Amino acid sequence: MWKQAFALMRQPATSEVHESAKEPSSDGAKKKYRKEKPWDHEGIDHWKPVSMSKEDVPSTGVLMEESSFATLFPQYREQYLKQVWPDVKSLLAEHELVGELNLIEGSMTVRTTKKTWDPYIIVKARDMIKLLARSVPLPQAKKVLDDEVYCDIMKIGGLVRSKERFVKRRQRLVGPNGSTLKAIELLTQCFVLVQGQTVSIMGSIKGIKQVRRIVEDCFHNIHPIYHIKELMIRRELEKDPELKNENWERFLPHFKNRNVQRKKLKTKKAKKKTKDVFPPQPAPRKEDLQMESGEFFLNEKERQLRQRIAKREAQQAKSAEKRRERAKEYEPPVPKAKKPKKASEESAKEIAQRLARKAQVNSSKKRPASDLLL
């Protein structure tokens, strides 16, 4: 049978078939399998999340089996979770979910019931307990249960090898007094929390992508201020209807990577080792030192007594030295030697006396006129 079918496929088409193919088909033939859909038009948003209410679901339910998710939390979150867990249970009960807090294992669990009417709410509840485990407060974490709010928990611990560099770049992301993080939140309309080795992000899909890019670039040594400037420019360009369909590359800043040369630390040159003919003498053993001091031949009690005496003598010497240092504070200061007065500091009377004494000395040194005659 398959040989006959293959032979029929290889036969050339007849002229009637060619003529019928050349003829233009009618509008009805074109739209035979593409009928108009009254619920589908150009103004509809295909990416808008579908909202579901309890009345839209049949009374028999929509879930066939039970689904559950569990997550661990650190020990420092235990006290807070114990306080807010009654509120978490009441929040989950509104969506017909059950939550469990296990303090022995350090875990939180959410699961569906037979009455759960929203099939996707269990995924939202899983995100909520993950955010609670990463130090997001409950008033903020419960917003993820809304249809238009999403979350992302980034792991940043493995982006940088050096621990010191990781801490510096994480602080760079937060900024002084959290100013950089606040600017990112305002521009992306997202909630961002840096905790340990994770970054928790809550907001729209577009905002989460922008924040993820900023965080990854920050740990790859690109400062967040560059992205903040770019987002501010984009925000202004979106307001202009004339530039809506144009390319914005000419307006956006382009930052070049510059290799800034830093001062190299001067390394100490290693001293050249002198090659001796004979190897150095081996270091004396502990037993040899004890034999020289005579301690080796003493018994245990005498050895301990000698150690206590040596220790006491060292303590007395140290306390005496400290006593001398404290006594120095009460010693009177040494009087400073008086400096000779300068010529400018002398009074007129002193100058006159000094000149008179000088004249008297000079007059006594003069030889008489009789001595000058030969």
CA angle, corner 203, sides to 227 and 194, nearest 5? 65
Q: What is the 3-state secondary structure (H, E, C) of 108-134?
A: EEEEECCCCCCCCHHHHHHHHHHHHHC
- For residue 2, what pLDDT is reported? 42
- For residue 249, what pLDDT is reported? 81
pLDDT in tens, 251-281: 887 777 676 677 766 666 666 767 777 888 8
Quote the CA–CA distance of 229 and 253 in Å, as a whole number: 8
Higher local confidence (pLDDT), 272 or 101: 101
Region 10-16: mean pLDDT is: 44
Q: Please return the burial class of 52, using the count of CB atoms within 10 Å of its CB with bins 0-12, 13-18 and 19+.
A: middle
- Picking from 72-81, 135-144, 186-195, 284-293, which range would have the lowest pLDDT averaged per residue? 284-293
Region 281-296: mean pLDDT is: 86
pLDDT in tens, 104-154: 999 999 999 988 888 889 999 999 999 999 999 999 999 999 988 999 999
Long-range CB contacts (within 8 A, 24+) of 35-38: none
Region 351-369: mean pLDDT is: 74
Confidence of residue 23 (pLDDT cuts 50, 70, 90): very low
pLDDT in tens, 191-221: 999 999 999 999 999 999 999 999 999 999 9
Half-sphere exposure of 5 (CA within 13 A, CB side): 2
Tell me, what DSSP letter sits at residue 75? G
Angle at which helix 179-188 crosses helix 163-174, to 10 degrees, equals: 60
The pTM of this model reads 0.58
- For residue 63, what pLDDT is reported? 84
> In this prediction, what percent of the chain has a pLDDT beyond 90?
45
Residue 313 tokens, joined: 């003598």
What average pLDDT does the structure give for the chain? 82
Confidence of residue 36 (pLDDT cuts 50, 70, 90): confident
Predicted confidence (pLDDT) at residue 321 exceeds the cutoff of 90: yes
Tell me, what DSSP letter sits at residue 258? -
Contact present, 154 and 104 (Cβ < 8 Å): no
Residue 36 tokens, joined: 């108009």
Predicted confidence (pLDDT) at residue 45 exceeds the cutoff of 70: yes
Predicted confidence (pLDDT) at residue 248 exceeds the cutoff of 70: yes
For 166-201, b where at least 16 C-beta lie within 10 A, e where not — what string? Answer: beebbebbbbeeeebbebbbebbebbbbbeeebbbb
Angle at which helix 224-239 crosses helix 205-219, to 10 degrees, equals: 150
Higher local confidence (pLDDT), 330 or 270: 330
Contact present, 144 and 109 (Cβ < 8 Å): no
- Among 69, 169, 167, 58, which residue's Cα sits nearest to residue 114? 58
Region 74-82: mean pLDDT is: 94
